[in-house]
Amino acid sequence: MSGAVLPVLWLCGPPGVGKTTVAWALYSDLAQAGIETAFVDIDQLGICYPEPAADPGRHRMKARNLDAVVAGFRAAGTRCLIVSGVVDSGQGVLIDQMPQAAVTVCRLRADRDVLRQRFTDRGGPAELIDEVLREADSLDAGTFAHACVDTSDLTVNEVARRVRERTCGWPTLAPGGSVDTLASTAVAADRAPDLSRTSARVSPGVEGPVLWLCGATGVGKSTVGFEVYRRVLRAGITAAYLDLDQLGFCRPVPGGDPGNHRAKARNLSAVWRSYRAAGAQCLITTGPVEDRSEVTAYADALPAAELTLCRLHAGREQLTQRVMLRGRGGSWAQPGDPLRGQSTPQLLRIADHAVASAAALEDAGIGEVRIDTDGHTVEQVADAVLADVALPGLSTS
């Protein structure tokens, strides 16, 4: 696909309308149909605060990061990409920031009573409902989307079907993977991908401290990592946060790389460069790793960064409890969470695998720092991490 733009379907709409749920359903359907597909939640590409004064909402930052991960997914063999997330109701999607993407925008909407119910059902604060409804009104008045689907009385699968109908069967792929999509007419000849610009943006060499929290499934990587990130922000430091799993949703998984670490490492390097340019003084990232060769892939992608790998450890009882809790929805929602909604027997099998993984990581001595999480709160584990890891502007003394 060298020299080609990538078909991107962006589902937007107000909070609670079902963007991520529908996008994930589309991603799963296309992958099962044998189409090399990737998925990104745009919010995951903008967790960098305080936000630049010139980019309220970080929409420009997110668009640039999306363009960067488009390159990473193309390198992994992806033929199309599905994106979910909010957009500026006045500007719409900032297509000019994504020269490597042929973007089709589909807006999801819902009747106000339905939207109010969905927002509260997912745990949205009641005091934000009026703001959500105002945003819905603003989006309904907009004209930037190529298509719109009213989701009010539809199931997720029905919405997904209508999205593809309204976008002319997206993605229409010509032989060899070139673009033939609803939005391709918006990609003018003078907007051909500037691959030299892309190469410069994703090239290694960005300095700065990067803290990577790893460990077995259920050990609490994301929860602890985000707590550490919040503390960095409270100290007045401009910082960024990334969940590595959110950078590697593409199917089929490349042969010989079941964790999709090559795509994740490339995307991590590209997004860190963008965050660093936005003023981030450090990056907190979380994600699994199984052996030293995988660690090397990330270190090679960040050769100038001060990368610290911190491994969280837990025993069988704690890992099993945490896996079961997460499977039942007792943790923060993550797009594509493989545990949520699984049966009890399946969760127990996942817990057994997590225990074996923890033992293997222990035997291999993965990580410069090891933190035992058994019997400790999230806050206590974060304290222990910050006691052993130097981050700018922070001191536990």
Asked if residue 371 lies in contact with residue 312, where contact means CB atoms within 8 angstroms, the answer is yes
Which ranges of the chain would DSSP assign to H, the alpha helix? 19-32, 59-75, 112-121, 129-141, 156-166, 195-202, 221-234, 261-277, 292-301, 316-327, 344-364, 378-388
pTM value is: 0.87
Just give the CATH number of 6-167: 3.40.50.300
Side chain identity at residue 95, one-letter code: I
Mean pLDDT of the chain: 88
| pLDDT at position 316 over 50 | yes
Please state the separation of Cα 237 from the chain's center in Å. 22
| pLDDT at position 309 over 80 | yes
**Measuring CA to CA, which residue among 197, 198, 166, 195 is closest to residue 182?**
166
In this structure, the chain runs to a length of 397
Residue 341 pLDDT grade (very low, low, confident, very high; cuts 50, 70, 90): confident
Q: Specify the range with the lowest mean pLDDT, choosing from 12-21, 136-145, 195-204, 251-260.
A: 195-204
Q: Omega before 171 cis (within 30°)?
A: yes
Domain ranges of the chain: 6-167, 208-388
Residue 238 pLDDT grade (very low, low, confident, very high; cuts 50, 70, 90): very high
| pLDDT at position 19 over 70 | yes
Side chain identity at residue 203, one-letter code: S
**Measuring CA to CA, which residue among 198, 250, 220 is closest to residue 326?**
220
| pLDDT at position 21 over 80 | yes
Q: Omega before 99 cis (within 30°)?
A: no
| Domain 208-388 class, CATH top level | alpha beta
Q: Specify the range with the lowest mean pLDDT, choosing from 92-101, 254-263, 284-293.
A: 254-263
pLDDT in tens, 155-201: 999 999 999 999 999 997 765 544 444 444 333 333 333 333 333 34
pLDDT in tens, 346-382: 999 999 999 999 999 999 999 999 999 999 999 999 9
Is the fold of 6-167 the same as that of 208-388?
A: yes
Show Cβ contacts of residue 273 under 8 Å, excluding neighbours closer than 6 positions.
Answer: 68, 201, 202, 206
Pairing between β-strand 48-49 and β-strand 239-243 as defined by DSSP bridges: antiparallel
